[in-house]
Amino acid sequence: MKVLIADDDRDLLNLIAFTLTQASYLVVKATDGPAAIRAFDEESPDLAVLDINMPGASGFQVCETIRAKSRIPIMMLTVRGEEEDLIRALDLGADDYLTKPFSPRTLLARIKALLRRAGLESSAPAAAGRVALDVQEHTVRISGGAPIRLTKLELRLLQMLLANANRTVSSDRLLVQVWGHRNSGDRQLLKQLVHRLRHKIEADPASPQLLQTSAGTGYKLVVD
């Protein structure tokens, strides 16, 4: 399940992203309105969490743009609690509204409720081609084989790769998804994680057919 989070408060943005990543959601971040619209178009998220007060385009404008294209659940965030904001957000098609400050647990519970109401919250395995991932059980099956137990970090890595099956995902994006941040020194951690995962899912880890390296850019999961 992929969630778009848009907020110009980077500290709050990173806190929300970390909370959702810990709960095994894929996270796409944006720090202004135009970036949020681009991220929606490029990433096709299942749910959007939008701050109302953003530079470039307000959360209201982003909500209106998304709603013209999609029926995904939308939650609005604001530091204000005026009734006018609530009414405007709902009139534009928002599904829920949360006033800052709020606890990460409250946000997570509201997101889960939105996804349930939309019929999107599911424990069924996510699958593409020969790879089937069961997020609830922390297991993966390759070509219908026995379930392979995954660590939390391996699960997050496979989630992002499976969501972008047969396409290269940059190392920076993978670092943010798996660990919630990216630094140049963290690339070695990513390499080690890929190495361990290959030993679990590849018939020949030295010559990977599933989890492939895209030279100088990142990795891709070949599911065909």
Q: Show the domains of the chain with their CATH numbers.
A: 2-117 (3.40.50.2300), 126-221 (1.10.10.10)
Structure tokens at 215: 């030279």
- Can you give the pLDDT at residue 148? 96
- Can you give the pLDDT at residue 135? 80
Structure tokens at 35: 């970036």
CB 151 within 8 A of CB 157: no
pLDDT in tens, the chain (224 residues): 889 999 999 999 999 998 998 888 889 999 999 999 999 998 888 899 999 999 999 999 999 999 999 989 999 998 766 778 878 888 999 999 888 888 988 999 999 888 888 776 655 457 889 999 888 788 999 999 999 999 888 988 998 898 888 999 999 888 877 876 656 557 888 999 999 999 999 999 999 999 999 987 999 999 98
- Can you give the pLDDT at residue 193? 93
**Residue 48 CB partners (closer than 8 Å, separation 6+):** 3, 4, 5, 6, 36, 40, 62, 63, 66, 72, 73, 74, 75
Distance spanning both ends of the chain, measured CA to CA:
21
**Residue 77 CB partners (closer than 8 Å, separation 6+):** 7, 49, 50, 51, 52, 59, 98, 99, 100
